[in-house]
Each structure stands twice: as C-alpha cells, then as structure tokens.
Amino acid sequence: MTVKARSISCPNCGGPVQLRGFAHTLTVTCPQCQSVLDASTPEVAILQKFQNKSRIQPKIPLGSRGKLGDTEYEVIGFQVRQVAGDAAYFWEEYLLFNPFQGFRYLTEYDGHWNFVRVLSSLPEETRGRGRIAMRMGGQTYLAFDSMTAQTIWVMGEFPWQVRVGDSAGCQDFIAPPYMLSSESTGGETTWSRGEYLPGAQIWSAFRLPGGPPVPRGVFANQLSPYGKVGSTWRTWLWLNVALAALVFFFLIASPGHVAFSDSYVFVPGVKSDAAFVTPSFQLTGRDSNVELGIKTNLDNNWAYFSFALINEQTGQAFDFAREVSYYHDSDGTEGSRNNSVIIPSVPSGQYYLRVEPETDDKSPSSFRYELEVRRNVANFTFFGIAALLLLVPPIIATVRRAGFETARWRESDYAPQSSGGDD
Amino acid sequence: MTARAANCPNCGAPIKFLWSSAVQTTCEFCHSILVRTDVDLQKVGEVADLPEDASPIQIGTEGAYQGKSFLVVGRILYEYEQGGWNEWHIVYNDGSSGWLADAQLEFDLSWWTQAPASLPASDQLTRGQRFQWNSKAYELTSLTRAHYKGVQGELPFQYWDKTDLLFADLRTTTGEFATIDYSEQPPLLFMGRAVEFNELHLKNLKDFEGWS
C-alpha cells in the first residue's frame, strides 16, 4: 500500500498548499499568504490570518532533505520562538520528518545548533553542584535556565496545533554536548534531549549553499574546545611519572664516583694561615661536573671554606667558597652541619684542592670536617625546571577552560551576581 | 468455533483468520464488524471508512522485538484534539498477543496485565501522580480523552460500540510504559515499554510517495 502525498487549497487565498507530512500534519501555513490552516479535516479551517508581511526566512528552506545519523529527514516546519523581557531573544526551530523514523528538531540560536528528539523516558530529579539537576542514562544534567517561550512566527507543517502567540514554559539542563529540555503547556510536560551540532555538519547534510552563520559566544551545551581539564592534568601526571623514571635512570646511570675524600680537624689559632692543599687526584672522562661535599661536626658555630680546584697540568683554577653554620637551642635548630657545591664543566686531568677554613675568632673551638670530591653527578636542577615547565600546559588549559565555562554560565540563571539579576 | 476460514454473514466474502484466538474481525469488502460465536460469525455492526492515516504499519506487517517475532493482525484507531493514534494488535509466534501503539511515530509495545494494585478511579487522576508497580516508579504523564474512530482486522475482544474514552499514560525513568484504559469497569492496565522504530525490525510496511 502506498500513502500518497496530499495537497490542499488555501481557503484564504486559493493557492495550493503541498503537504509533506502526510496525515500527520494537523497545522500547515499557506506559502502564499502565510495563513495558519487546520489540515486535520477536509474542510481546512483558517486558524489565523497574517497581517504583517515581514516574513522570517528559515536558514534551511522547507522541503530540504538531509541525512543526520543514518536517517534522511525532510524539513517540513519552521517556527521562531521568543523569550520576552529587557533582553529579549529568540531562537529558531526546524521540524524534521521521516515517514518511518518520525519527527526530530533542529534548533538554532546565534549560530549554535542542536539536534533534538523527544524522550519516551522521564529524567530523574537529583542535585548537582548544589542545585537542581536531572539524571538520565547515567548522566547528570545541571540546571541551566528556565524561560517562557512564545511562538512569534510559523511556517510549514506541524503534527500538532500551532499558532503564533502560543507560549510554553521551558527549562534546560546541560551535560555538554547534550541538553535536556522540558516544555510545559496546559499542565503537560514533554522532555527532549538535544545534541550540539556544528553548523558545518548541517550545511553539508542538507547541501546548503554558502556557510553556516558564525556562532557567537558560548552556547549552553557547547563542548569546550579546551577538552576536559582532568585529561590535561592526567597527562601532566603521566609526564611527571616519566620524569621521575628519568631521574631514577640518571641516578643509576651516573651515580658519580668519588675522586677524592679525606677528613680533617680544624684547630683555631694554631696557625695564622690555615690554608693547605690536598694530595692530587684524577678527574676522568669528558667535561663534566664535580661536586664537593662538606660534612662537619660544628656545634653552635660557623665555618667558612674558601676552595680552589686547581689543574696540575694547566694551572686552571676554579675558585669557590661555602659557609657551613649550625646552631641549636631550646627553640630549635638553624642551618646545617653539611653543605655542598657543584662546579660545572670541569675538564679531565690531574687536580688538587686548595682549602682555607675559617671560623669565629671570638668563640674558637675545634671541629672535624670531611671533604668529598665526586665526579659526574646527576644534576637534578634540570629535572626541577622540567617539572615546572610541564605545569604550564595544564595551567593554561585550566585557565582557558575556566574562561569558557564562565562565558557559558554567564548566559544561565546561575550567572554570578555581577551580571545584574534580570529576573 | 475454531475454523480459521469462514464467510462473511453479510456479503459472503471469505474471511480468513490470521490468529486462532481472534474474537472479532472486520470484513474487508463490506466493512461489517464480525464477532465469532460458538457456532458462527455474527455481524454486530459496521465500520465507517477509516480516515487516511500515516502510520507506516498495516495489517500484515511483520516484526521482531528482542528476538520474538510478531504479526500485525488488527488495529483500533483513536482520535483526540491533538491528533490520532493507532493501537496495532500484534500476535507473537507463541500465540500470545499484545499492542503496538503508533502515536505520531513514537512507538510503545504493551500487553494487557493484571493490575499489581487497585487502579485509581478516573476522577482521581492527576498528571505527575506516581504509582509503584513491580518496584518501578510510574509517573502519570498524560491524560487523553479520545474518540473511538474505528477498528480493522482481528481483535482479542469485542470492541465496536465505543464513544468517548479516557486513557492515562504513565512512564518511568528507564523506558517502561503503561496505559490505564477506562473504557471498561474496572479499568484495564496495559504495561510495556517505549521502543525505537529500528528495534522493531518491521517488514511489509506501507510505502510513502516520494520516499523510497
């Protein structure tokens, strides 16, 4: 059996009115005079006559066909709905039809599109971020806004009765890229679920000329282009694990080897010049760093060491100094008994150290100290810098994402108070 | 009477039964409503021409839901101020029967069910009311006062002289669906679930001009 397409004559202007929705169509507008007609009976009553001639042209022409998902749909109806108020705004709704799969909607606001279908299950009221939310299919949709929408323009066919001036109470809940919406008229509530679609996808599906309108601002259920902040931080965590593995590898690969070590006792006032030189020792391998470690048994005292690392063959000297001080009383301790210094890029060769220790002349006391020269030690400063640099991308992502979310929620009923309560 | 073939007592046309348990059917030729009795078929009324409808389903449409195949053998057509819908009477291959509702291409499958609790009287219904049945919360989503528009094909009961009818539709958060039908006293409960067109695997559907 074949269901035939139908057409009727407009009782107002006599023009032909083609019906694309077969017997589903209850209301149709005349394409010539824009009268709203009741198509449910053969008599075709006029529901509304239009006086104003300022037509609103749909961005997707009625009769366009396009494939969304696996299904081909025809655009059969178009309505513009307005939310009145100080900052009145409106959005467009396109009714899509497939004689087997049924009805779907495309909504458009400021270049942002949603593909919508009516739900046959009810969402469950819950709470999320301290406000009303809806739970459905394992997802939590946060309350976004509520409004009264009035139909200000209709074109084409609808499987329900529609007139200019119809109004409905609407509520939106979001879980980007999805949105749950409720619409209530006369005590009956219908739930639908929308999915954010890029305009380009609609333009290519319906083979529309030109490009889609450029979206303005951030839409309620638009997916953030900055991704999930959680994932950038997860990446950061893994990179840190990799860095730690690298540090561990370097610790094993270049633990440094001890080129020289000895211990000494400093007795103040024995000699006016306490300077001495160590026996010579070998630094091997390519140019690399040298670490000199100082361990003392200072007790409420300080010591100052002037060093020179001198190459026996070339006479090249690396001069450096370190202070070691360690104090303690009932309030706690200050300083440390140990210190160390790293001298970078020391060529290989035969070296000796010139050491000149000093201490407080006023409270002279002797102390022991140990010097240890280590060649080629892993330098963890670089790893520290790397760890800091790794923080940059997730912090930038977090800041940008926060900016995007602020822009999103600025349009909601839950905007920060600074935007001025408009309801 | 168990014969699967008979003749229309009004016009003599052959009447074939697709379902052995059918209680009522209609004659395709003279539109008589025929009721099976112990001995023969009796004409109890006549159906007016059914208005044109755009359901893709027709008598003879086959389908399968969750591996259980079924055949469409009859229907009841209802109308209300916001449109109309078809209750397609379907018979599963195990001989049981149920209903496939098509309301503007939103589909629900249901079966007559013994009410788990006593059902509310028709004047005690409000939208949003909740019922706990089979440990699921059913919420009353719509109350529809419909007109009986006609019948076609085989039905499991006599159904032909109805006028104004009240239906209460209920839904859950997980796709279950129920209808309380106040056409009888006590009211009848049908329970089932919302289904997607593709889940029904329908064959032998109507064609639509301009759609292939």
Interchain pair B127, A187: CB under 8 A:
yes
User: Could you tell me if A277 and A322 lie in one domain?
Assistant: yes
pLDDT in tens, chain A (423 residues): 899 988 999 999 999 999 999 999 999 999 999 899 999 888 889 988 875 667 889 999 999 999 999 999 999 999 999 999 888 999 999 999 999 999 999 999 999 999 999 999 999 999 888 889 999 999 999 999 999 999 999 999 999 888 889 999 999 999 999 999 999 998 889 999 999 999 999 999 999 999 999 999 999 999 988 877 778 888 889 998 998 898 888 777 766 788 999 999 988 776 556 789 999 999 988 888 899 999 999 988 899 999 999 999 999 999 999 999 999 988 888 999 999 999 988 999 999 999 999 887 777 788 899 999 998 887 777 788 888 898 998 898 889 888 999 999 988 888 876 544 444
User: Could you tell me if A160 and A95 lie in one domain?
Assistant: yes
A422 occurs within a structural domain? no
Q: Are B207 and B55 within 8 A, CB to CB?
A: no
User: Which residue range(s) make up the domain with A309?
Assistant: 256-377
Distance of CA A355 to the CA centre of its chain: 56
Interchain pair A103, B81: CB under 8 A:
no
* In the predicted structure, residue B3 carries a pLDDT above the cut 80: no
Whether the CB of A244 is below 8 Å from some CB of chain B: the reply is no
Whether the CB of A22 is below 8 Å from some CB of chain B: the reply is yes
The closest CB to that of B207, out of A2, A24, A121, belongs to: A2
Interchain pair A100, B209: CB under 8 A:
no
Beta bridge partners of A22: none
- In angstroms, the separation between the Cα of residue A108 and the nearest Cα of chain B is 24
Q: Given the structure tokens 């458009």, which residue do they identify? A: A108
Whether the CB of A252 is below 8 Å from some CB of chain B: the reply is no
How many domains is chain A built from?
Answer: 3
The closest CB to that of A1, out of B141, B171, B206, belongs to: B206
Token reading at B97: 């029967």
Chain A residues touching B127 at Cβ < 8 A? 187-189
A14 occurs within a structural domain? no
Beta bridge partners of A336: A325
Interchain pair B104, A101: CB under 8 A:
no
A293 occurs within a structural domain? yes
Report the share of chain B in percent with pLDDT over 90.
Answer: 68
Beta bridge partners of A93: A79, A107
A23 occurs within a structural domain? no
A285 occurs within a structural domain? yes
Whether the CB of A165 is below 8 Å from some CB of chain B: the reply is no
Closest CA to A153 of A97, A89, A78, A85: A78
Q: Are B32 and B8 within 8 A, CB to CB?
A: yes
Closest CA to A62 of A39, A33, A36, A96: A96
pLDDT, one tens digit per residue, over B78-94 is: 988 878 899 999 999 99
Chain A residues touching B207 at Cβ < 8 A? 1-3
What distance in Å separates the CA atoms of residue A287 and residue A298, rounded to the nearest whole number?
Answer: 34
What distance in Å separates the CA atoms of residue B95 and residue A228, rounded to the nearest whole number?
Answer: 53
Q: Are A174 and A184 within 8 A, CB to CB?
A: no
pLDDT at A66: 97
pLDDT, one tens digit per residue, over B25-47 is: 999 899 999 998 877 888 888 88
Closest CA to A55 of A33, A23, A40: A33
User: Could you tell me if A337 and A282 lie in one domain?
Assistant: yes
Q: Are B140 and B125 within 8 A, CB to CB?
A: yes
What distance in Å separates the CA atoms of residue A358 and residue B173, rounded to the nearest whole number?
Answer: 82
pTM confidence score: 0.78
User: Could you tell me if A366 and A411 lie in one domain?
Assistant: no
Whether the CB of A337 is below 8 Å from some CB of chain B: the reply is no
Q: Are A219 and A198 within 8 A, CB to CB?
A: no
Chain A residues touching B194 at Cβ < 8 A? 120-121
Domain at A303, CATH number? 2.60.120.380
pLDDT at A420: 44
Picking from B77, B79, B141, B147 by the largest number of A CB atoms within 10 A of its own CB, the best residue to mutate is: B141
Give the DSSP letter of residue A49.
-
- In angstroms, the separation between the Cα of residue B39 and the nearest Cα of chain A is 34
A5 occurs within a structural domain? no
Interchain pair A2, B53: CB under 8 A:
no
